[in-house]
Protein backbone atom coordinates (compact mmCIF):
# COMPACT_ATOMS: atom_id res chain seq x y z
CA UNK A 1 0.00 0.00 0.00
CA UNK A 2 1.41 3.37 -1.01
CA UNK A 3 0.77 6.23 1.40
CA UNK A 4 1.38 9.97 1.45
CA UNK A 5 4.57 9.46 3.48
CA UNK A 6 6.14 7.40 0.69
CA UNK A 7 5.54 10.21 -1.79
CA UNK A 8 6.94 12.76 0.66
CA UNK A 9 10.07 10.66 1.23
CA UNK A 10 10.56 10.27 -2.55
CA UNK A 11 10.11 14.01 -2.98
CA UNK A 12 12.55 14.78 -0.17
CA UNK A 13 15.19 12.46 -1.63
CA UNK A 14 14.80 14.08 -5.06
CA UNK A 15 15.20 17.49 -3.43
CA UNK A 16 18.34 16.29 -1.63
CA UNK A 17 19.80 15.02 -4.93
CA UNK A 18 19.13 18.39 -6.56
CA UNK A 19 20.70 20.20 -3.63
CA UNK A 20 23.78 17.97 -3.80
CA UNK A 21 24.01 18.77 -7.52
CA UNK A 22 23.97 22.51 -6.85
CA UNK A 23 26.74 22.08 -4.27
CA UNK A 24 28.97 19.59 -6.07
CA UNK A 25 28.90 20.60 -9.72
CA UNK A 26 30.76 23.62 -11.01
CA UNK A 27 29.13 23.91 -14.44
CA UNK A 28 26.39 26.56 -14.59
CA UNK A 29 24.15 24.46 -16.87
CA UNK A 30 24.35 21.40 -14.60
CA UNK A 31 23.59 23.61 -11.58
CA UNK A 32 20.56 24.89 -13.47
CA UNK A 33 19.37 21.30 -14.14
CA UNK A 34 19.78 20.47 -10.45
CA UNK A 35 17.61 23.51 -9.65
CA UNK A 36 14.94 22.06 -11.94
CA UNK A 37 15.15 18.78 -9.99
CA UNK A 38 14.51 20.69 -6.74
CA UNK A 39 11.49 22.48 -8.26
CA UNK A 40 10.08 19.15 -9.41
CA UNK A 41 10.54 17.64 -5.96
CA UNK A 42 8.39 20.45 -4.54
CA UNK A 43 5.79 19.79 -7.26
CA UNK A 44 5.64 16.09 -6.35
CA UNK A 45 4.87 16.86 -2.71
CA UNK A 46 2.22 19.41 -3.78
CA UNK A 47 0.46 16.87 -5.98
CA UNK A 48 0.72 14.28 -3.20
CA UNK A 49 -0.98 16.60 -0.70
CA UNK A 50 -3.59 17.53 -3.31
CA UNK A 51 -4.50 13.84 -3.71
CA UNK A 52 -4.47 13.33 0.06
CA UNK A 53 -6.87 16.20 0.83
CA UNK A 54 -10.13 14.86 -0.63
CA UNK A 55 -13.38 16.86 -0.48
CA UNK A 56 -16.66 15.42 -1.81
CA UNK A 57 -14.82 12.67 -3.67
CA UNK A 58 -12.58 15.17 -5.48
CA UNK A 59 -8.90 15.89 -4.80
CA UNK A 60 -7.93 19.43 -3.79
CA UNK A 61 -7.38 20.97 -7.21
CA UNK A 62 -5.85 24.15 -5.74
CA UNK A 63 -2.60 22.23 -5.30
CA UNK A 64 -2.61 21.08 -8.91
CA UNK A 65 -3.28 24.63 -10.15
CA UNK A 66 -0.31 25.80 -8.07
CA UNK A 67 1.82 23.10 -9.73
CA UNK A 68 0.60 24.36 -13.12
CA UNK A 69 1.74 27.89 -12.24
CA UNK A 70 5.08 26.62 -10.94
CA UNK A 71 5.71 24.74 -14.21
CA UNK A 72 4.83 27.85 -16.22
CA UNK A 73 7.09 30.14 -14.21
CA UNK A 74 9.88 27.53 -14.31
CA UNK A 75 9.66 27.42 -18.11
CA UNK A 76 10.00 31.23 -18.25
CA UNK A 77 12.88 31.04 -15.77
CA UNK A 78 14.70 28.45 -17.89
CA UNK A 79 14.47 30.57 -21.05
CA UNK A 80 15.79 33.70 -19.34
CA UNK A 81 18.48 31.78 -17.45
CA UNK A 82 19.76 30.03 -20.56
CA UNK A 83 19.85 33.35 -22.43
CA UNK A 84 21.96 34.77 -19.59
CA UNK A 85 24.27 31.72 -19.79
CA UNK A 86 24.67 32.23 -23.55
CA UNK A 87 25.48 35.92 -23.03
CA UNK A 88 27.97 34.96 -20.30
CA UNK A 89 29.59 32.38 -22.55
CA UNK A 90 29.99 34.98 -25.29
CA UNK A 91 31.70 37.37 -22.90
CA UNK A 92 33.93 34.87 -21.06
CA UNK A 93 34.06 31.62 -23.14
CA UNK A 94 33.34 29.56 -20.03
CA UNK A 95 30.43 28.15 -18.05
CA UNK A 96 32.54 27.21 -15.05
CA UNK A 97 31.40 29.04 -11.91
CA UNK A 98 34.91 29.41 -10.52
CA UNK A 99 35.96 31.38 -13.60
CA UNK A 100 33.07 33.83 -13.08
CA UNK A 101 33.79 35.24 -9.64
CA UNK A 102 34.31 38.95 -10.31
CA UNK A 103 31.55 39.85 -7.87
CA UNK A 104 32.90 37.53 -5.18
CA UNK A 105 33.94 39.39 -2.05
CA UNK B 1 -1.16 2.02 -8.51
CA UNK B 2 0.44 -1.09 -7.16
CA UNK B 3 3.30 -0.55 -4.69
CA UNK B 4 5.73 -2.43 -6.95
CA UNK B 5 5.15 0.00 -9.84
CA UNK B 6 5.38 2.95 -7.45
CA UNK B 7 8.77 1.85 -6.10
CA UNK B 8 10.04 1.06 -9.60
CA UNK B 9 9.18 4.58 -10.77
CA UNK B 10 10.66 6.13 -7.62
CA UNK B 11 13.85 4.13 -8.15
CA UNK B 12 14.08 5.20 -11.81
CA UNK B 13 13.42 8.83 -10.85
CA UNK B 14 16.06 8.88 -8.10
CA UNK B 15 18.63 6.86 -10.08
CA UNK B 16 18.48 9.14 -13.11
CA UNK B 17 18.31 12.19 -10.83
CA UNK B 18 21.57 10.97 -9.34
CA UNK B 19 22.97 10.45 -12.83
CA UNK B 20 22.25 14.13 -13.59
CA UNK B 21 24.62 15.04 -10.78
CA UNK B 22 27.23 12.34 -11.35
CA UNK B 23 27.49 12.32 -15.15
CA UNK B 24 30.57 14.14 -16.45
CA UNK B 25 29.21 15.05 -19.87
CA UNK B 26 26.45 17.72 -19.95
CA UNK B 27 24.53 15.91 -22.73
CA UNK B 28 24.39 12.77 -20.58
CA UNK B 29 23.09 14.82 -17.65
CA UNK B 30 20.37 16.40 -19.77
CA UNK B 31 19.21 13.02 -21.13
CA UNK B 32 19.18 11.56 -17.58
CA UNK B 33 17.04 14.50 -16.51
CA UNK B 34 14.53 13.68 -19.27
CA UNK B 35 14.20 10.09 -17.99
CA UNK B 36 13.86 11.35 -14.41
CA UNK B 37 11.05 13.70 -15.49
CA UNK B 38 9.25 10.89 -17.35
CA UNK B 39 9.27 8.74 -14.19
CA UNK B 40 8.02 11.76 -12.24
CA UNK B 41 5.15 12.14 -14.72
CA UNK B 42 4.27 8.49 -14.07
CA UNK B 43 4.12 9.28 -10.34
CA UNK B 44 1.75 12.20 -11.07
CA UNK B 45 -0.49 9.83 -13.02
CA UNK B 46 -0.40 7.42 -10.06
CA UNK B 47 -1.78 10.30 -7.94
CA UNK B 48 -4.70 10.73 -10.43
CA UNK B 49 -3.24 14.07 -11.62
CA UNK B 50 -3.45 13.24 -15.33
CA UNK B 51 -3.34 16.87 -16.49
CA UNK B 52 -0.18 17.64 -14.50
CA UNK B 53 1.41 14.42 -15.77
CA UNK B 54 0.76 15.37 -19.40
CA UNK B 55 1.98 18.93 -18.80
CA UNK B 56 5.12 17.53 -17.17
CA UNK B 57 5.92 15.46 -20.26
CA UNK B 58 5.00 18.18 -22.79
CA UNK B 59 6.56 21.19 -21.09
CA UNK B 60 9.46 19.73 -19.10
CA UNK B 61 10.56 16.59 -20.91
CA UNK B 62 9.65 18.18 -24.25
CA UNK B 63 10.20 21.92 -24.41
CA UNK B 64 12.51 22.73 -21.50
CA UNK B 65 14.87 19.80 -22.00
CA UNK B 66 15.12 20.41 -25.75
CA UNK B 67 16.10 23.98 -24.88
CA UNK B 68 18.77 22.69 -22.49
CA UNK B 69 20.16 20.27 -25.10
CA UNK B 70 20.09 23.01 -27.72
CA UNK B 71 22.10 25.36 -25.52
CA UNK B 72 24.58 22.61 -24.53
CA UNK B 73 25.19 21.80 -28.19
CA UNK B 74 25.30 25.49 -29.18
CA UNK B 75 27.99 26.23 -26.59
CA UNK B 76 29.78 22.97 -27.50
CA UNK B 77 30.52 22.07 -23.87
CA UNK B 78 33.06 19.34 -23.27
CA UNK B 79 32.98 16.92 -20.39
CA UNK B 80 34.02 18.71 -17.25
CA UNK B 81 37.65 18.23 -16.29
CA UNK B 82 38.34 17.17 -12.74
CA UNK B 83 39.17 20.11 -10.51
CA UNK B 84 39.93 20.46 -6.85
CA UNK B 85 36.65 20.59 -4.93
CA UNK B 86 35.99 23.10 -2.20
CA UNK B 87 36.18 20.61 0.65
CA UNK B 88 34.54 22.58 3.53
CA UNK B 89 31.65 23.59 1.27
CA UNK B 90 31.01 19.99 0.21
CA UNK B 91 31.18 18.73 3.80
CA UNK B 92 28.81 21.48 4.94
CA UNK B 93 26.44 20.62 2.11
CA UNK B 94 26.35 16.94 3.05
CA UNK B 95 25.69 17.82 6.69
CA UNK B 96 22.76 19.99 5.58
CA UNK B 97 21.42 17.20 3.33
CA UNK B 98 21.66 14.54 6.04
CA UNK B 99 19.96 16.83 8.58
CA UNK B 100 17.24 17.59 6.01
CA UNK B 101 16.53 13.88 5.41
CA UNK B 102 16.54 13.20 9.16
CA UNK B 103 14.04 16.01 9.86
CA UNK B 104 11.88 14.92 6.93
CA UNK B 105 11.71 11.28 8.07
CA UNK B 106 10.97 12.31 11.66
CA UNK B 107 8.15 14.62 10.52
CA UNK B 108 6.75 11.95 8.21
CA UNK B 109 6.72 9.20 10.81
CA UNK B 110 5.22 11.37 13.51
CA UNK B 111 2.46 12.46 11.10
CA UNK B 112 -0.20 9.85 11.86
CA UNK B 113 -2.50 10.49 8.91
CA UNK B 114 0.34 10.15 6.44
CA UNK B 115 0.46 6.36 6.69
CA UNK B 116 -3.23 5.95 5.89
CA UNK B 117 -4.43 4.77 2.49
CA UNK B 118 -5.38 7.61 0.11
CA UNK B 119 -9.15 8.24 0.30
CA UNK B 120 -11.05 7.08 -2.80
CA UNK B 121 -12.02 9.73 -5.36
CA UNK B 122 -14.57 9.87 -8.17
CA UNK B 123 -13.85 12.51 -10.78
CA UNK B 124 -17.03 11.81 -12.71
CA UNK B 125 -17.38 11.62 -16.48
CA UNK B 126 -15.63 14.98 -17.06
CA UNK B 127 -12.33 13.80 -15.70
CA UNK B 128 -9.34 15.59 -14.31
CA UNK B 129 -8.73 18.25 -17.00
CA UNK B 130 -12.30 19.59 -16.75
CA UNK B 131 -11.97 20.21 -13.00
CA UNK B 132 -8.53 21.82 -13.27
CA UNK B 133 -9.73 23.99 -16.16
CA UNK B 134 -12.81 25.16 -14.30
CA UNK B 135 -10.85 26.16 -11.22
CA UNK B 136 -8.09 27.71 -13.35
CA UNK B 137 -10.40 29.92 -15.42
CA UNK B 138 -12.84 30.85 -12.64
CA UNK B 139 -11.02 31.07 -9.34
CA UNK B 140 -7.52 31.72 -10.70
CA UNK B 141 -8.33 33.84 -13.74
CA UNK B 142 -6.31 36.91 -12.73
CA UNK B 143 -3.16 34.91 -11.80
CA UNK B 144 -3.46 33.13 -15.14
CA UNK B 145 -3.41 36.49 -16.98
CA UNK B 146 -0.46 37.61 -14.87
CA UNK B 147 1.48 34.45 -15.72
CA UNK B 148 0.69 34.98 -19.41
CA UNK B 149 2.12 38.49 -19.16
CA UNK B 150 5.16 37.09 -17.36
CA UNK B 151 5.84 34.70 -20.24
CA UNK B 152 5.49 37.57 -22.72
CA UNK B 153 7.97 39.66 -20.72
CA UNK B 154 10.35 36.66 -20.50
CA UNK B 155 10.28 36.08 -24.25
CA UNK B 156 10.93 39.77 -24.98
CA UNK B 157 13.73 39.73 -22.40
CA UNK B 158 15.35 36.70 -24.04
CA UNK B 159 15.36 38.44 -27.42
CA UNK B 160 16.95 41.54 -25.92
CA UNK B 161 19.50 39.51 -23.94
CA UNK B 162 20.63 37.62 -27.01
CA UNK B 163 21.20 40.73 -29.13
CA UNK B 164 24.88 41.09 -29.78
CA UNK B 165 25.08 44.83 -29.14
CA UNK B 166 22.67 46.58 -26.81
CA UNK B 167 21.67 50.05 -27.97
Q: pLDDT of B120-145, one tens digit each?
A: 877 777 788 999 999 999 999 999 99
* Interchain pair A89, B75: CB under 8 A: yes
Give the pLDDT of residue B79: 67
| B166 vs B36, residue with greater confidence | B36
Q: Reduced to 3 states, what is the DSSP secondary structure of residue A55? A: strand
Q: Reduced to 3 states, what is the DSSP secondary structure of residue A53? A: coil
Nearest chain B residue to A62 by CA: give it. Answer: B135
Q: How far apart are CA B4 and CA B122, in angstroms?
A: 24
Give the pLDDT of residue B92: 84
Give the pLDDT of residue B93: 81
* Interchain pair B118, A4: CB under 8 A: yes
Contact between A79 and B153 (Cβ < 8 Å): no
Instruction: Check if B48 contacts A (Cβ < 8 Å).
Output: yes
Break chain A into its structural domains and give their ranges: 4-98
Q: How far apart are CA B52 and CA A44, in angstroms?
A: 10
Assign residue B60 the CATH number of its domain.
1.20.120.1200
pTM assigned to the model: 0.89
CA-based nearest residue to A27, from B29, B76, B80:
B80
* Interchain pair A29, B71: CB under 8 A: yes
Instruction: Check if B131 contacts A (Cβ < 8 Å).
Output: yes
Give the pLDDT of residue A3: 86
Give the pLDDT of residue A63: 92
One DSSP character per residue, chain B reads --HHHHHHHHHHHHHHHHHHHH-SSHHHHHHHHHHHHHHHHHHHHHTT-HHHHHHIIIIIIIIIHHHHHHHHHHHTPPPPPP----HHHHHHHHHHHHHHHHHHHHHHHH-GGGGSBPPP---TTT-HHHHHHHHHHHTTHHHHHHHHHHHHHHHHHHHHHT-SS--
Nearest chain B residue to A95 by CA: give it. Answer: B77
Q: What is the pLDDT of residues B59-97, one digit of tens each?
A: 988 899 999 999 999 888 776 666 666 788 788 888 888
- How many structural domains compose chain B? 2
Q: Are residues B85 and B21 in the same domain?
A: yes
Q: Are residues B107 and B147 in the same domain?
A: no
Please state, rounded to an integer, the average pLDDT across all residues of chain A.
89
* Interchain pair A19, B93: CB under 8 A: yes
How close B167 gets to chain A, by Cα (Å)? 15
- A to B CB pairs, distance under 8 Å: 224
Angle at A73 between CA B59 and CA B36, to 5 degrees: 45
How much is the average pLDDT of B7-30?
92
Between helix B26-46 and helix A4-24 the angle, nearest 10°, is 170
Q: What is the CATH number of domain A4-98?
A: 1.10.287.3510
List all residues 6 or more positions away from A70 whose beta carbon is below 8 Å from its beta carbon. A39, A42, A43, A46
Of A59, A65, A71, the CB nearest to B60: A71
Q: Are residues B93 and B56 in the same domain?
A: yes
* Interchain pair B37, A78: CB under 8 A: no
pLDDT over 70 (residue B37): yes
Of B40, B104, B111, the CB nearest to A12: B104
Find the domain containing B141 and state its range: 128-167
Give the pLDDT of residue A78: 92
How close B49 gets to chain A, by Cα (Å)? 7
pLDDT over 80 (residue B50): yes
Q: Are residues B61 and B143 in the same domain?
A: no
ipTM of the complex: 0.91
Contact residues, chain A, for B67 at CB < 8 Å: 78-79, 82
Interface test with B, best of A78, A80, A81, A101 (most B CBs within 10 A): A78
* Interchain pair B21, A20: CB under 8 A: yes
Across A38-42, B15-19, B68-72, B162-166, least confident range = B162-166
Q: Are residues B94 and B133 in the same domain?
A: no
Contact residues, chain A, for B44 at CB < 8 Å: 44, 47
Amino acid sequence: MVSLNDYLIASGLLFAIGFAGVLLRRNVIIIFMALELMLNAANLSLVGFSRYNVHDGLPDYNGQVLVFFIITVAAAEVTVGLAIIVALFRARQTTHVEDINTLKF
Amino acid sequence: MSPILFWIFVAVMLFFGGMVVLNRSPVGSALSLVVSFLALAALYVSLDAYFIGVIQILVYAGAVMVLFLFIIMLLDLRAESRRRVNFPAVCGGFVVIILFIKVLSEVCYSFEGGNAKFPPISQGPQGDVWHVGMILFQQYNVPLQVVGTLILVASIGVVILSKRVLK
